Amino acid sequence: MRFWLKYVLIGLGIRLVLAPFFMHAWDIGTVWEASRQFLNGEDVYRYVAERTYMLRQSTGLPLYYHGFAYLPQTLLIFAPFYRLYTLMFPVENSLDLRALEPALPYPQMYVFLLLIKMPIILGDVVVIYLLSKREPKIGLFYALNPYVLFITAVWGNFDPLVGLFLLASYLCFSERRILSGFLYGLSLIKIYPIVLFPLFMARSLSSWRGLTKFILGLSIASLPAIYYLIVAPYGFLEAMLFQGARQVYGMNMYQAVLSAQGILFQTTITRVATLIFATALLFLTYMVLKERSPMLNSVVVLMLAYMIFAPVTNEQHLAALMPLALLSQRFDRKLCIFPLLFAAFNATYIYFATPIFWTDVALRNLYVVLRGAWAEAVGPYSSYIRYFISLSFAFLAFRNVHSHFQPQMPALDKRFQIIRTALSTVTSGSPSHRAS
């Protein structure tokens, strides 16, 4: 059997085994809700805008409804799989993942989770294939990486799909510019790869033909978004605005701000954070262009800059960088440990096992007991632990950004040169010989 096929099958097998039993109820619920509305011919974005309006009216606070705030291309990816589920279970389709007490019908719940995660799993399979073809070890690393497995098969978030599109866009960039633009356009299903837009544009500027091709591909991928922009601009823009106006949150250095309770205060800090983010991004984009860094390094640096400085960076965002970053020789793979740890103290691992615990009353009671015990044991310290993890990630990522600008053979620090010289003298008696 070919090695890449072996890795693909291993990766696929693990994902298929895990997928039916775990989920992030809210995030899977978002895709479920949007797919259902989309198939019923409802305006997904209008629904989100209306819920936001109601929330604001009832509280007097600048709140957003955390609903579907992604580009419509996402619906075209997920809705067919949800449709397949409704065809399989047309009568007992009583799912409600957004209720305070989620309604999970069994056993079709397992089928639903498997189907709704299928695009992400298939995306991972393609990534494993692409990486294995280039470097078998990297393909295997991606197939077995606990962080990637967690985001794809356990959480069920679609950032790994963003990673696939970015990887494919990068691989096509030199020779198939239209396809590269198209794939980059697809990667914008989550809006944050927009930080790479100036880089792609600048790198395409070498020839007008290349630039035109890239923009053409990007435009084709953006047709669903353009459609919504024309047909239902208010709801669409309102939902998109959410991603840009969210208060600071997530695994980043702004974590301490969350201890200062209050959305109005956090909104003010978010403006400052956005300014910091924009400044850092501009500076780093300028640097990678000025230094003529290789495309791969440049993409990794800018995506890492997003992870470090953006006001909202969630655990799953690194998954969008992983496929590309693994091709980079300078990417620090230890970075993927931190989001995995962060999730334990944020949503908590037990939350992801809701589909298992909801199967019967005894298990459900056990879920309540376990969550209570975890909250009692860790709850008072969890914000500090989250901050600790966030800082660890921020500093390590920042160091990694630096390493992308450093020469491959940096000069030794003076005092280490002295130590090395001394050691050489002791071992060989000829320091100049060793040094040469």
Binding region for another protein (CB under 8 A): 55, 58-61, 63-64, 66, 100, 133-135, 137-138, 171, 247, 253-254, 256-257, 259-265, 269, 276, 327, 329-330, 332, 384, 387-388, 391-392, 394-395, 398-399, 402-403, 405-406, 408, 410-413, 416
Strands 249-250, 312-313: parallel, antiparallel or unpaired by DSSP? Answer: parallel
User: How near is the Cβ of 330 to another protein at its closest, in Å?
Assistant: 6
User: How near is the Cβ of 258 to another protein at its closest, in Å?
Assistant: 9
User: How near is the Cβ of 404 to another protein at its closest, in Å?
Assistant: 9
What DSSP element (H or E) covers 249? Answer: strand 249-250
DSSP 144-201: H-HHHHIIIIII--SHHHHHHHHHHHHHHTTT-HHHHHHHHHHHTTSSGGGGGHHHHH
What DSSP element (H or E) covers 313? Answer: strand 312-313
User: How near is the Cβ of 138 to another protein at its closest, in Å?
Assistant: 8
What DSSP character marks residue 91? S
* CA pair distance 293, 404, nearest whole angstrom: 8
Q: Are 328 and 346 in contact (CB under 8 A)?
A: no
User: How near is the Cβ of 167 to another protein at its closest, in Å?
Assistant: 10
User: How near is the Cβ of 262 to another protein at its closest, in Å?
Assistant: 3
Q: Which of 101, 131, 128 is nearest to 7 (CA)?
A: 128
What DSSP character marks residue 103? B
* CA pair distance 313, 292, nearest whole angstrom: 27
Q: What does each C-alpha distance from 291 to 228, 286, 296, 407 come to in angstroms?
A: 39, 8, 13, 11
Chain mean position to CA 54: 29
Which residue bears the tokens 């280039």? 134
What DSSP element (H or E) covers 250? Answer: strand 249-250
Cβ nearer to another protein, comparing 10 with 63: 63
Q: Which of 343, 348, 302, 341 is nearest to 324 (CA)?
A: 302
Question: Encoding tokens for residue 35?
Answer: 């797919």
User: How near is the Cβ of 352 to another protein at its closest, in Å?
Assistant: 20
User: How near is the Cβ of 259 to another protein at its closest, in Å?
Assistant: 5
Cβ nearer to another protein, comparing 243 with 392: 392
Produce one character per residue of 28-51: b if its CB has 16 or more CB atoms within 10 Å, e if not.
bbbbbbbbbbbeeeebbbbbbbee
User: How near is the Cβ of 423 to another protein at its closest, in Å?
Assistant: 14
Sequence-separated (6 or more) residues with CB below 8 Å from residue 148: 124, 142, 160, 319, 322, 336
User: How near is the Cβ of 226 to another protein at its closest, in Å?
Assistant: 31
What DSSP element (H or E) covers 312? Answer: strand 312-313
What DSSP element (H or E) covers 269? Answer: helix 263-290
